[in-house]
């Protein structure tokens, strides 16, 4: 390639970029506070504003959806499910958590207290606030 061709191509590219930059600045002229407030009020009346905290389209759609049941209907359904034993324990979402919660203890409270006291005497308990098992 010749030096003239490279120089011409570089100048053409620089001119195109400068033109785009100037056009973008002209299109984004500052808007006054009154204009911005009027635009926001118009969008609010048209229902185009997202609810506070909604950032995704799905969030906006969920927030705009009206409930199909009353609070009393939902409470009655929950009470029926509770009586039928269909509600999961609070906080337990894993099968292992549910199985652990349903399992009966193998030691009495007195046995656990005695084991803890023995471990304390041997110095096997973790110091308060340090957590984790000791070696």
Cα 75 from Cα 12, distance rounded (Å): 71
pLDDT at 68 (0 to 100): 87
Cα dihedral across residues 96, 97, 98, 102: positive or negative: positive
**pLDDT tens per residue across span 108-126:** 999 999 999 999 999 888 8
**pLDDT tens per residue across span 78-116:** 999 999 988 876 765 677 777 888 888 899 999 999 999
Buried/exposed code over 95-132 (b: 16+ C-beta within 10 A; e: otherwise): eeeeeeeeeeeeeeeeeeeeeeeeeeeeeeeeeeeeee
Q: Is the pTM of this model over 0.85?
A: no
Helix (H, G, I), strand (E, B) or coil at 99: helix
Residue 78: how many CA atoms within 13 Å on its side-chain side? 8
């Amino acid at each position: 390639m010749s030096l003239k061709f490279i120089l011409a191509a570089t100048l053409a590219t620089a001119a195109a970029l400068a033109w785009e930059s100037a056009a973008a600045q002209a299109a984004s002229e500052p808007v006054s506070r009154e204009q911005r407030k009027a635009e926001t009020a118009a969008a609010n009346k048209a229902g185009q504003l997202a609810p506070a905290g909604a950032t995704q389209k799905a969030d906006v759609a969920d927030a705009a959806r009206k409930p199909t049941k009353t609070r009393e209907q939902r409470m009655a359904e929950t009470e029926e499910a509770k009586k039928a034993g269909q509600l999961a324990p609070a906080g337990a979402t894993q099968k292992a958590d549910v199985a652990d919660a349903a399992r009966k203890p193998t030691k009495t409270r007195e046995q656990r207290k005695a084991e803890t006291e023995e471990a304390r005497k041997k110095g096997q308990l973790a110091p308060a606030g340090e957590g984790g098992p000791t070696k």
